[in-house]
Structure 1
Amino acid sequence: MNEHLIRIKKLVIALVSIIMMIYGCGSLVMTQMIFQLFYRRGSPELQSKFNITKKAFISLLICILNFVSPSSIRISTDNATLAKGTFRKVNGKIISQLNRRSIIIANHQIYTDWVFLWWLTSTADLAGNIFIMLKKSLESIPILGYGMRNFKFIFLSRKWAQDKIILHNSLGVIDANSRGVGPLSGARPWRVDDDGEMYWDVNKTDDSKSWPYCLLLFPEGTNLSATTRRKSASFAEKVGRQPFNHVLLPHSTGLRSSLKLLRASVEVVYDVTIGYSGVGRNDYGEMIYRLPNIFVRGQTPKLVDMHIRAFKLSEIPVDDEEEFSQWLYEVWKEKDNLMENYYRDGTFTSDPELDQIVVGGFNIDPKPILMACLLPPALTLSLALVGYLAYAWLT
């Protein structure tokens, strides 16, 4: 009997999660459509409203994950590169003072890594200003694809000839907007090449019209698995590198290109190392926390560990390709050592002199999702009421 009840409970949780996801995403897209009726396309007012729906989307995902199985977050920060108090706990909620123009890089273990990192930006009220690179095919997903295009996410085909222009223009716009001289300020690029690449004046700024941003990148390109580990080892042999034990060999092209395109505005690169409870030294997180396991079986990590350190742009050899590749390799080597500590001790650090530790819930402000998801039905009911009153008055 107990087994039947457990199965029924899991089935109910899965069905409710699917309903929440479908209704939430549908409502967010409808909200975006409503905003487009009242605000001019490309206007800062419309983008501001779209950013609210971006916040609401991550709120939706976090609400679903907490409904399936609540998690806690433990953040440790490197005292040598991040000031004490960058992360702190207020009324049970973790808040932070992350930089307003930054790049986050991280190791990639499970498909929902980006959800936890997106949550990280919410601690500094930057959830509406995050940008993610996704596969081009995801742009065609019904409803979600439309919404993500309005989020200004960057869709890449992994064909450099095509992606180079998309990346150049997308990051160029992000950079120009962050300096208050982009399309959202009414400005235009000072030059457009024959191939469509746009160039913005890197010497101009207008802080009164600036927009913050946080670009999220996974230099490994994919999550850790038995197959990707073998491919990474082959790639390491090809380029004369020593493969790692707990992370994949990073690729430098995407990150270096992003840093070069954002160098007029980017202030810091946050390096995040992620570890999940329930994943052992010889396990693969993507097998344990697969999407069906999360949403159907309610199997999520009870504790998510993040170790964060920061690099100033001046500390990164962006202009030299070989030096940059070596720098990134050393960063990942240290990340591999951190993962070794994590699997041995269950934590990234235990020395308060070196690091600060903050533990809190995996939660987020629910107001954006409530507003975005309640607006369509509220507007529909209002229009229906107006229509009824008009009909009653006329007849």
Structure 2
Amino acid sequence: MDLVGLLKSQFLCHLVFCYVFIASGLIINTIQLFTLLLWPINKQLFRRINCRLSYCISSQLVMLLEWWSGTECVIHTDPRAYPKYGKENAIVVLNHKFEIDFLCGWSLAERFGVLGGSKVLAKKELAYVPIIGWMWYFTEMVFCTRKWEQDRKTVFRSLLHLRDYPEKYFFLIHCEGTRFTEKKHQISMQVAQAKGLPSLKHHLLPRTKGLAVTVRSLRNVVSAVYDCTLNFRNNENPTLLGVLNGKKYHADLYVRRIPLEEVPEDEDKCSAWLHKLYQEKDAFQEEYCRTGTFPETPMVPPRRPWTLVNWLSWASLLLYPFVRFLVNMVSSGSSLTLAGFVLVFFVASMGVRWMIGVTEIDKGSAYGNMDSKQKHSD
């Protein structure tokens, strides 16, 4: 390991990232709270401000991926569709197999200039998580309980609110509902067999109702569905801890632009369309495993500097008082102060490890394991 790699793997560096992210995130959440005063006066101004505040938080994680770890993401797509990316609202359907696939989705949005306003269909519990969850609340993210009878009206209503959203956005949906594991895949394919659907090798059986209601709610506002299939070269198994340690990964992302006019509005027809889409995605993944590449022309969208500029700005603002505080604690010589100093580092260490742990695949949602009981009711 070279000197730079050794430096990136040190816990002190991780602590700095964690501190800047948490401190800046709580400051931004507080500012977002005060922007609620604008909602009854000028809703669109409220939205534009919160898009930029949201960017200040989410771009810090993208900065880790793009600048700290130097992860490369090559996009394989039709050159005729490429100029439209970032110039239109789009529904992004992304496979859910890797710990950092959400970061790759955010990186895609960032490189096309729509990260601040982009949306995701997320479970309701995340709305109560400080920083990210609160940020999502103020940017009108769409939350669901994963119980469709409860979600039908609330999700539809939330989506309708986005019809007059003033910023361009990608609306990210993981149609599989949970991250891929072998156990979940086995259960999912049992459901597929019971329902007479073709088996998938690299994906879970997609849940169709979320996409159907999204297409119906955002028709004439969203221009296309971006079918995104992600994989990593040389059988890399990327993790958030690896990104934090500065490990460089090599991603390939196959993006197909499908005009929304080609997606059926009828729920049953949309369901059949999505199942067919996932059979095609599975074939693309199989081809990638065999040849190491996706179809279409490989392109690398330019890495924008604003994620790095944003992080450096917050670090410059927040690190000086923090370091001065720590120096004063250590120089005081008090045993009680030193004990408190050690406790702070211990709690911070546990906090960093916990945040990384919740992203690990083997600690992922048990939602997919319920499929055999629910028989994939959608």
- TM-score where L is the length of structure 2: 0.74
C-alpha change, 1:8 and 1:112, in structure 2 (3 Å) is closer
Whichever structure has more strand as a proportion of its residues is 1
Does the Cα contact within 8 Å between 2:38 and 2:45 map onto a contact in 1? no
SS of residue paired to 1:75: strand
Does the Cα contact within 8 Å between 1:71 and 1:361 map onto a contact in 2? no
C-alpha change, 1:241 and 1:371, in structure 2 (3 Å) is same
Determine if the alignment matches structure 1 residue 78 to structure 2 residue 78: yes
Tell me which amino acid in the other structure corresponds to 1:340: E
In structure 1, how many angstroms separate the alpha carbons of the residues matched to 2:306 and 2:139? Answer: 19
C-alpha change, 1:155 and 1:324, in structure 2 (3 Å) is closer
Deviations 1:30-60 (A, max 9, x none): 4424655778666222211100012222211
Aligned partner of 2:240 in structure 1 is 291
In structure 2, how many angstroms separate the alpha carbons of the residues matched to 1:239 and 1:39? Answer: 46
Does the Cα contact within 8 Å between 1:104 and 1:269 map onto a contact in 2? yes
Aligned partner of 1:171 in structure 2 is 159
Does the Cα contact within 8 Å between 1:53 and 1:368 map onto a contact in 2? no
In structure 2, how many angstroms separate the alpha carbons of the residues matched to 1:242 and 1:43? Answer: 46
Aligned partner of 2:46 in structure 1 is 46
In structure 2, how many angstroms separate the alpha carbons of the residues matched to 1:143 and 1:54? Answer: 10
In structure 1, how many angstroms separate the alpha carbons of the residues matched to 2:148 and 2:200? Answer: 26
Unaligned runs of 5+ in 2: 322-378
1:109 Cα shift? 1.2
Unaligned runs of 5+ in 1: 88-95, 179-209, 281-287, 350-354, 381-395
In structure 2, how many angstroms separate the alpha carbons of the residues matched to 1:339 and 1:309? Answer: 14
CA RMSD of aligned residues (A): 3.2
Equivalent position to 1:365, from 287, 306, 315 = 306
Equivalent position to 1:121, from 109, 113, 118 = 109
> Please, which moves more after superposition, 134-143 or 217-226?
134-143
Tell me which amino acid in the other structure corresponds to 1:233: M
Tell me which amino acid in the other structure corresponds to 2:18: I
1:267 Cα shift? 1.4
Number of corresponding residues: 318
Does the Cα contact within 8 Å between 1:270 and 1:310 map onto a contact in 2? yes
Aligned partner of 1:190 in structure 2 is none
- TM-score where L is the length of structure 1: 0.71
Determine if the alignment matches structure 1 residue 325 to structure 2 residue 281: no
Determine if the alignment matches structure 1 residue 336 to structure 2 residue 282: yes
Does the Cα contact within 8 Å between 1:121 and 1:127 map onto a contact in 2? yes
C-alpha change, 1:370 and 1:65, in structure 2 (3 Å) is closer
Whichever structure has more helix as a proportion of its residues is 2
In structure 2, how many angstroms separate the alpha carbons of the residues matched to 1:39 and 1:168? Answer: 21
Does the Cα contact within 8 Å between 1:68 and 1:298 map onto a contact in 2? yes
Determine if the alignment matches structure 1 residue 62 to structure 2 residue 62: yes
Aligned partner of 2:331 in structure 1 is none
Residue pairs, 1:295-314, within 5 angstroms: 295=244, 297-299=245-247, 302-314=249-261
Deviations 1:127-165 (A, max 9, x none): 122111111111122343322211211221112222112
C-alpha change, 1:46 and 1:250, in structure 2 (3 Å) is same
Equivalent position to 2:145, from 134, 142, 157 = 157
Aligned partner of 1:184 in structure 2 is none
Aligned partner of 1:346 in structure 2 is 292
Tell me which amino acid in the other structure corresponds to 1:227: K
C-alpha change, 1:361 and 1:164, in structure 2 (3 Å) is same
Does the Cα contact within 8 Å between 1:71 and 1:362 map onto a contact in 2? no
Equivalent position to 1:356, from 283, 297, 301 = 297
Percent sequence identity over aligned pairs? 24
Residue pairs, 1:130-145, within 5 angstroms: 130-145=118-133
Aligned partner of 2:27 in structure 1 is 27
